[in-house]
Amino acid sequence: MSSRPIALVTGATRGIGSAVAHALAPTHDLLLGGRDRARLDELAGELRSARPWPVDLTDFTALAATTTGIERLDVLVHSAGLAELGTIEETPAEVWRRTMEVNLVAVVELTRLLLPALRASHGHVVLLNSGSGLRANPNWGAYAASKFALRAFGDVLRAEEAEHGIRVTSVHPGRTATDMQRSVREQEGGEFDPGQYLRPESVAAAVVSAVTASRDAHVTEVVIRPGQAR
């Protein structure tokens, strides 16, 4: 790694996470977080000054060990997540637990472990949230609850870490053309038309804008909705 700013992006192997990694690569050294080592190696080969950071975010023992050597971190982008739809009646406790563990608890724990590194560089934490973190709809109970909680975490983190110069941005994209969105659309029984969705690159551009804002500007929340169909 060089003297350039360092960014860690979780969920970097696909979708918004991959787009964010590509968008940050020209200006940042990258740690690419994910579970698919082969895909991480492939992505690292495509990007300047990037290296794989393979870890299961819900294996908290491994997470603690993997973060030990990170002494300085300028940007932490949380993009990993999952969505399983169903009515309250249809959704068992294990789905709620799994959703909360991936979308919230893993985010909280990784951030907690990296706070010393973030404080050392007056870093920036970006939480890839969702429109479901602002509004809950039928069949989205577990996912929306996890994203509402993620928003609350971001608000608390921002207030607690202001004295250390850490900025926290919650990004709330509308429906985005990703593999996860394709899966969600299939769960809903509808057709997946990428032209009706945000592009991951558009969300990534908003992330970069927040991260590169001058120090007098703290972009606390970004809400993005799909525009006209392409």
For 216, counting Cβ atoms within 10 Å of its Cβ (0-12 exposed, 13-18 middle, 19+ buried), the class is exposed
The domain ranges of the chain are: 6-224
Instruction: Give SS3 for 68.
Output: coil
Q: Which listed residue (140, 143, 153, 197) is catalytic?
A: 143
Residues 6+ apart with CB under 8 A from 6: 28, 29, 30, 31, 72, 73, 74, 75, 121
Annotated catalytic, 197? no
φ, ψ at 155 (rounded to 5°): -65, -45
HEC secondary structure over 73-129: CCEEEECCCCCCCECCCCCCHHHHHHHHHHHHHHHHHHHHHHHHHHHHCCCEEEEEC
Task: Supply the pLDDT for residue 4.
Answer: 95
Q: In the chain, which stretches have pLDDT less than 70?
A: 1-2, 177, 179, 181-182, 185-186, 192, 194, 228-230
Question: What is the pTM assigned to this prediction?
Answer: 0.93
Task: Supply the pLDDT for residue 1.
Answer: 47
pLDDT tens digits along 41-55: 999 999 989 999 999
CATH code at 6-224:
3.40.50.720
Residues 6+ apart with CB under 8 A from 112: none
Entry field: residues in the chain? 230
